[in-house]
Every structure is written in structure tokens, then in C-alpha cells.
Chains A and B, each alone.
Chain A
Amino acid sequence: MRNFWLLARHEYRKLVGKRSFLVGTLGFPLILMVVMAAGIFISVRSDPNRPIGYVDHAGIINPAVSPIIEEGETLLALRPFPDEAAAQEALANEEIQALMVIPAGYPRNLLIKVFYWQDTPGEAVYSDFNAYLRANLAADYPANLQTRLQDGSDLVVRAADGSREFNSQNIFNFFIPFIAAFFFVFVVMGSSGYLLQVVTDEKENRTIEIMMTTVSPGQLIGGKALGLLAVSLTQAAIWVATGIVAILIGSIFFETLRFVSVPWSLLLVALLFFVPAYAFIAGLMTAIGSAVSELTQAQQIAGILNLLFLLPFFFIALFFTNPNSPVLVVMTFFPTTAFMTVLMRWGMSNMPVWQLVLSWLLLVGSALGSVWVASRVFHTGMLRYGQSLKLKDVVTAVRPRRVSGS
């Protein structure tokens, strides 16, 4: 058991210490930071000290009417102008940050002209002016209707059993199953991709003969698989932490992010499927790595296999329109597509529990089979330095052996 942990630690340290790992791992948070900073910059670019100018040809805005706002919330001030020339001059002098011209025909065509100087105005300019406009348009209605009209419409989508509900506020939650599915599949495929590389390296480096006289094949592959899984989980943890920080910071500026909630049931299903899915693909990658002689050859075969794992991605529209369609049900039971399909169906629809259980059992069975095949092919293929196994050799390796006396 000591060697199992030593191997896991060795693989972990070896990979985490590489520059490529640091670049790959820190690259995502950096890109996210840049994207967020750009978003926040656009959002907060409005100058709170400069009002929004407007010229009201339609006679809609009454300066005495203010929108209903929450406690602590502030709006940009409005500054009326009698004509466009005066307003344009004020805009050129940077006295106002944007100019809204409400044409006389606004009630008919609902069009407003927007003028700004060099930089596009921030989100607050549009949302605050809309709030003023909505409040003035609803000013003649009773108080309760005014409130309702100012709040605007909110489409609520509920699952039939009431287990899930999405509205304009928590819309981000709708995408979490997709994000989670891609995320977990990435971790599984990332780890198994590392494993493929490590097994092929072991064969190319011809270290296997020494290793096999030191540790058992189970310890060797198990230790490496665990170490590489830890690498992917480290990478994933850094990204998740970055995502959480991004959501926390983003929620200050973007309202939708304030309503993000953790989908615990989805996480539970993900964890349930994670181990057999990883064992399944790790077994396949070990078998491929043992059977071929070069990494490029292994990657070509693994690339085809990866397509099978990402197959649900090509049916993504179906998950929205008909998550219980026969195609997706079949993919739920097929071992390569089960993990991703289950995560997305479970997160988005009311997937029958029997399908979940059957899918899990089939995946566990496939994982055991995959690891068994991998151990046979590993034993045969790893000592054939510089040679690839033919299909016949693989079949021979997998075929049950005669009982031998020694």
C-alpha cells in the first residue's frame, strides 16, 4: 500500500511541477478575470456625478415623478433640455454623459435616440433612464398597477413536480447542469488523458520492467491513476474557487449572479457517477497506452474515443427541447455517454429514477470490465518495447488463460 501512495504522490508532484500545468491551470482564472474586469468596466463606466440629459418632444417625462427603487439604491440624475442643440452642446462640454431624445412619435413607435460622446455609456445609463421612462408612462395608473408595471414581466418555468424553478433572477441556475456536466467530464477526461500519456511514457522509457519487479501492476496503475486524478482535481479546485470568487465579485455588479444556488442533488449524482466514469475511461486509456508504441499513436486512438464521450454535446439542443427523447435515453445507458447525459438530464428535467439506477449499474459494470481488460493488455503490451499490439494480440491477451501449475 505504501508504494501505491508513493506512486500517486510521484505522479502528482511530477505533473504539478511542470510549467505547462501552471500555465494551463492559471490560464483559465486569468482569462476569467480579464472577461469579468471588462464586464465590470462596461457596467460601472457611468459617471454617477454626471446626469443623463434628455429632450422630451413627446411630453412624457415629468421631473416630479420618480421610479420606485429599493432602499439604498440610487439612480443617475436627469437633466432636461429644451432643444437638441443645447443638449448637444452640454454633451460636447461633458456636462452630461449621454443624451436621450424622445421623439414626438414615441408613443407610436417606441423609439428613442441616444447620443454620447466618444465612449459608449455604461449599463446604468440605459437601465436608469428606462426606469424613469417606465415610471412616467405608468404615472396615471393606480399605485398597485404602477408598481407592477415598473417591475415588468418575469417568466417563471417550473418543473412539473415543483422540484425546479427558473425565473429571470435565477436564470443562471438553468445553465449550471451544462456547466457542471462539461466540468466533470473535463476532469475525467483530463485525468485519463494524463494517464494515457504516463502509460505510453512508461513504455517508451522502458521503465516498466523495473517497475513490475518492484510493485504490482494494480499498485502501479492504481497509484498513477489516483495521482493524476488528484492533478485534475487540483486544477478543477482552482477553477471552482476562481468561479466562486468571480460569482461573489460579479454579484455586486450583476443582479443575476446574486441568485446562483448550489444544485446539491446534481452534485450528488455527479459524485455517484464520477468514480465509475473515471475508472471506465482510465481503463480504456491504460489499455490503449499499453497496446501502442508511441504517444502520437495513442492520442489518435484516444481522440476517437473522446468523441464518443463528448457525443451528448452534439445533441445539446435536444436537452432543451426534449430531454427525455429516445436518443438521450439510449445515451443515458451507453457507458461512454452516460456521465454527461445523466448530469444534463438530471439537472434539467425529471429523469426517471430507474433510468438513473440502471445507467449507474451499467457504467459500474463497464468500468470493471474496462479495468480488467486494461490489466490484461497492460501485462502483454507493456513489455513489447517499440511494438504495437495487433488486434489479434489484444484478443489473445483478454481471452481467459489456461490454469497453469508452477
Chain B
Amino acid sequence: MSTVLISSVRKSFGRVEAVKDVSFEVFPGEIFGLLGPNGAGKTTTIRMMLDIFEPDGGQVSVFDGRITEAKKQRIGYMPEDRGLYKDLQLEQTLVFLATLKGLAESEAKSRLEGWLKRLDLYDHRQKKIQELSKGMQQKAQLIATLLHDPDLIVVDEPFSGLDPVNTRLVKDIIEEQRQAGKTIIMSTHQMYQVEALCNRIVLIDNGRTVLYGEVSKIKRDFSGNAILLEGHGDFSQVPGVLEARRQNGAWHLALGSDANPQEIFRHLARQDDVTIERFEIAEPSLDDIFVRVVQEGKQSREADHA
């Protein structure tokens, strides 16, 4: 059974249609990537999912039904616009937020010690939030999200403001939560993190779902029109190849829409002046797919307007 089910939701603010038609489903034990360019409708979708906004249409189901006050205690949310009470002490703030999520004060304090130590904030627990660095505040926000041990974790840009060491630490924590069977929805623009962490993704553009499914399958679906070659010889004049460029010691050949990788391979095999040491179908990066889908969508909209 899915933890979150979003079906054909839409939301307008005045004349602006922020979300037109977004659907996806998220299951326990997976890290789900909620992707899209700026202004695509990701945050509005999250806010509808978490009952901050009421959708104008469509269906939102969290933990098998409408969200309730009790269900809110099973959710940990780290919004993109970070916020903690700046003039309060770190420990006091985190304990207060955890008690609002249903933890007893003593239990919250007990759990907090471990988290503070793990995220290297223990020595700063008596400091006011405003005295902490941006990275520290980011880690504090992550603790606020996870301290009450939620079943559904929604994190928006969890790595922003973190150095590589802390980025690794946060990645490990997110992965641990997944292994513990939690449902994690992660919104980020860092595509390499999505590739590293997410099982499935949804890509929202202009308020609509434009890509949805398993990361590996999506990458396979977008592969086939490029090949990666290693060898000796000139690969720049191969028939059917639109563009050939050297990339990290290998050749990246972009194929025309009518070209077939098998025919390319056969053609190259017949050539005496080239040797092939490696030939594989190039799988596009998620970053490439993101850019391509969003640009195609933009061009399509521009064409419609024209």
C-alpha cells in the first residue's frame, strides 16, 4: 500500500495555475525524487500533500486517507524555506518541536542527545539558533525533521548549504531511514544526488507530471540515441552520427533519429583504419534527461503560443 497517493491534483492562486495535473504514488522503503525546474509546482504539490493548501481538484491520500492531526505526527518535513526560532536555544527549540509531534519531553531530550552528537552539534546545544552557522542550522533542521521518528519524511533541498563531509553524512542518514522502511520524498535540483539515492522520480514541469517512474527505466528509455566508444582512429565522420566529441578519453557519438547503434557498430567493424576497444550504448545522465525534457516542454509551449 502506498504511503502517499497524489492523483490529478490541481491548484490555482488567483489566475495563476500553479499545479495543473500532477499524479504520483510513493511507497514505504523508497526514496522518491520530486523534481522539476524552479516554479514548476513542486512546493505547491508538497504543500497540498501536507494539507497546508487544499487542492482545487484531484485526490490526495496520505497513509491511506485524508490527512488528520494524528497523521501529521507521523510526518517529518524539512521545507525549502528553513526556519527555526532564532532567539531560542538549539536544544530548547528541538525539544519543543518534538513534543508538538507527540514525544514526551524526557524522551525528546534523550533522543536529541544522540542526534546532536552524531551531527556534531552537541557542544552548541545551549547556543541560540541565530548564533549557529548556516550549515549548523541546516543540520538542526534535519534533526527537527527526524527526531520524532516519522514514517513519512519530506525533505526539500536537504543538501543545500552543506560541505562535502556533511553532505555525505546527510546522505547516509537518508539512506538509513530508507533501510528502516520509512517513506522518503526528496525534492532537489542536485541530479547526481537523485541518481545516487532515489529509486523512483517524478518530474514536474509547468504544473504537470512529465516524467514518472524508476530512475533506471527512465534512463534506459532515454538511451539509444548515443554511443560511447573507446579505440583508435577517426570517429568523427561516421554516417548517421550528428555529433562526435571527445569526453574523458572516449568518444561520445550523438546519433541521428534514423541511426541505429547496431548499424553503426557494423559499419565501424568493417573499417580497417579504426580499432574498437569499447562500444556501449550511452546512458544519459538524469541531468541530461531533466534538461532535455524541460527544454522540449518549453519549446512545445512556445510553439503552441506562436
Contact = CB atoms under 8 A, between A and B. Distances in A.
Contacts of A404: 54-57
Interface in B57-88: 57-60, 69, 72-73, 75, 77, 79, 81-86, 88
A406 B69 contact: no
Contact of B101 (A201, A214, A405): A214
A209 B77 contact: yes
Interface in A358-406: 383, 385, 396, 402, 404-406
B50 A206 contact: no
A269 interface: no
Given A6-B100, A213-B51, A406-B55, A207 B72 contact: no
Contacts of B55: 404, 406
A6 B92 CA distance: 13
A14 B56 contact: no
Interface string B89-115: 000000011011100000000000000
Interface residues of A, number: 25
Contacts of A212: 50, 52
Contacts of A14: 88
A345 B100 CA distance: 45
Contact of B85 (A205, A405, A406): A205
Which size class do B's interface residues fall under? Answer: 20 to 34
B142 interface: no
B59 A210 contact: no
Interface in B257-274: none
B185 to A, nearest CB: 13
Interface in A1-41: 3, 6-7, 10, 14
A216 interface: yes
A237 B65 CA distance: 48
A282 interface: no
Contacts of B52: 209, 212-213, 383
Contacts of A207: 83-85
B77 A210 contact: yes
A208 interface: yes
Nearest to A212: B52
Contacts of B60: 406
Contacts of A248: none
A205 B84 contact: yes
Contacts of A213: 50-52, 72, 75, 77
Contacts of B83: 205-210
B100 A3 contact: yes
A252 interface: no
A367 B267 CA distance: 83
19 contacts: A6-B96, A10-B96, A14-B88, A205-B83, A205-B85, A207-B83, A208-B83, A209-B77, A209-B79, A210-B79, A210-B83, A212-B52, A213-B52, A214-B72, A215-B72, A215-B100, A396-B14, A404-B54, A406-B57
**Which A-B residue pairs are the 4 nearest by beta carbons?**
A206-B83, A207-B83, A209-B79, A206-B81
Interface of B: 9, 14, 47, 50-52, 54-60, 69, 72-73, 75, 77, 79, 81-86, 88, 96-97, 99-101, 144
Given A212-B50, A214-B101, 5 more contacts: A6-B100, A206-B79, A213-B77, A214-B97, A406-B59
